């Protein structure tokens, strides 16, 4: 998990947040049997560039990766006794084929920028509460912190999922530090 306290200015200044990769214990389970109930095999990513949800960076050419099915809201809801209902989506994510060192500690990794993203907010019951679409190039990466702080300024927002707009894939989870 990458935890960074982010300070912003303006009306959302008091809301800090942390960006989280998929937790190591969840990755261990997904590498054995994914959330679709299937055993997946790792493969060599000859070209590199796959968005890795275990360390929040792009894969490098020659790394062993896996494409697994993951239900990102399921684990969060289970920790809280919530039922995400129809929002319990299962989708594809890339992870390393073997345990890695995790994120390098950036608040919201620059590697997640460039392509259109949606910041999807959820309430404490696991229901969608709103969101924002964003397309920020790497050189404007810091702007996403302000957008996240705006979402978390709503006290009803319990977490935000960052997803790819085109593929709909889960990229990272962001939680407020309250």
Domain boundaries, the chain: 16-177
Q: What is the pLDDT of residues 11-51, one digit of tens each?
A: 444 468 888 999 999 999 999 999 999 999 999 999 999 99
Report the distance separating Cα 82 and Cα 80, nearest Å: 5
The predicted pLDDT at position 18 comes to: 87
Predicted pLDDT at 105: 67
* Apex 134 CA angle, 70 and 61, nearest 5: 55
Pick out the chain residues at pLDDT < 50.
1-14
How confident is the model at residue 8, as a pLDDT?
A: 40
Give alpha helix (H) positions in 5-80: 24-32, 72-80
pLDDT at res. 48? 96
Question: Taking the mean position of all CA atoms in its chain, how far away is CA 23?
Answer: 11
Query: Which pLDDT value is given to residue 106?
Result: 53
pTM of the model: 0.84
């Amino acid at each position: 998990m990458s935890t960074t306290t982010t300070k912003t200015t303006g009306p959302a200044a008091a809301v800090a947040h942390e960006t989280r990769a998929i937790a190591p214990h969840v990755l261990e389970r997904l590498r054995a049997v994914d959330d679709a109930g299937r055993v997946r095999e790792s493969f060599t990513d000859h070209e590199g560039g796959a968005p890795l949800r275990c360390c929040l960076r792009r894969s490098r050419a020659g790394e062993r990766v896996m494409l697994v099915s993951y239900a990102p809201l399921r684990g969060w809801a289970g920790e809280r006794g919530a039922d995400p209902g129809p929002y319990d989506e299962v989708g594809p994510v890339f992870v390393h084929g073997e345990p890695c060192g995790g994120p390098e500690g950036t608040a919201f990794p620059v590697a997640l920028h460039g392509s259109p993203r949606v910041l999807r907010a959820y309430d404490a019951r696991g229901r969608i509460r709103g969101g924002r679409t964003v397309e920020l190039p790497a050189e404007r990466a810091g702007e996403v912190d302000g957008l996240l702080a705006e979402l978390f300024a709503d006290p009803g927002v319990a977490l935000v999922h960052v997803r790819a707009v085109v593929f709909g894939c889960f990229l990272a989870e962001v939680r407020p530090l309250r």
